[in-house]
Amino acid sequence: MLTDKLIELEREYGGLERDLSNPEVFADSSVFQKVNRRYSELAPIVRLWFEYKVHQESASQARDMLEDPEMRELAQMDLELSETRMREIEAQLDVLLLPTDPRDSKNVILEIRAGAGGDEAGLFAGDLLRMYSRYAENKGIRLELLDTNESDLGGFSKVTADPRAVFTPLPPPLRSFPRLRKPSFSWTSPWFA
């Protein structure tokens, strides 16, 4: 694992945290935006790194407790849990530490054009649009059609769409309330028992 890189990112994250609380940085919107963007990029990595260090310390304490016969079973369970979670975190960090493409944060316009082939090409363009629409819907993205030129058979000769992420708010937490009163009647019919 890239421990040196993670320690360096942890230091950078701490410096960005200090910069965000600096009134001079807050006053300059372009600098603030740049610092805040980098801070947001590093936040998931640093949180996982902190969790990794906690599990690393827990595993170390569990190894020390293995020598005690009364605590051996509990220590073994704790050691297994910590090592399992550490492996999961390592896999997540490996993915998060991959270099990002600078175009990842840019907007996209989807354009589908029917090629040579007449009506069949238009039908294929329509099928392609439906395929992309369903894929986007499954990923939580809404395709907003900007421009369409329909062909005679229900296909498209040209489609331009703007994919936008749809953020659905979480539902409110469920609350249970005790019954405030008992029902004032009871069913006496065997049909409703």
How do residues 110-149 score in pLDDT, each as one tens digit?
A: 898 888 877 888 888 888 988 988 988 888 888 888 888 8
What pTM did the predictor assign?
A: 0.57
13: pLDDT confidence band, cut at 50, 70 and 90?
very high
CA distance 146 to 154: 18
Burial class (CB in 10 A: 0-12, 13-18, 19+), 158: middle
Strands 110-113 and 141-150: unpaired
The set of long-range contacts for 93-100, using a CB threshold of 8 Å and a minimum separation of 24, is 93/1, 93/2, 93/6, 93/45, 93/48, 93/49, 93/52, 94/1, 96/44, 96/45, 96/48, 97/2, 97/5, 97/45
Range 169-180 average pLDDT: 52
DSSP-H helix ranges across the chain:
3-20, 23-27, 29-65, 72-96, 119-138
Instruction: Please report, for the chain, the start and end positions of each structural domain, with discontinuous segments joined by +.
Output: 3-102, 107-165
Give the confidence band of 172 by pLDDT, cuts at 50, 70, 90: low
What is the band of 174 on the pLDDT scale with cuts at 50, 70, 90? low
Q: Judge whether residue 186 has pLDDT over 60.
A: no
Task: Render pLDDT for 22-36 as a digit per residue (tens, 0 to 9).
Answer: 889 888 888 999 999
Architecture of domain 107-165 in this structure: 2-Layer Sandwich (3.30)
CA nearest neighbour of 162 among 127, 131, 133:
133
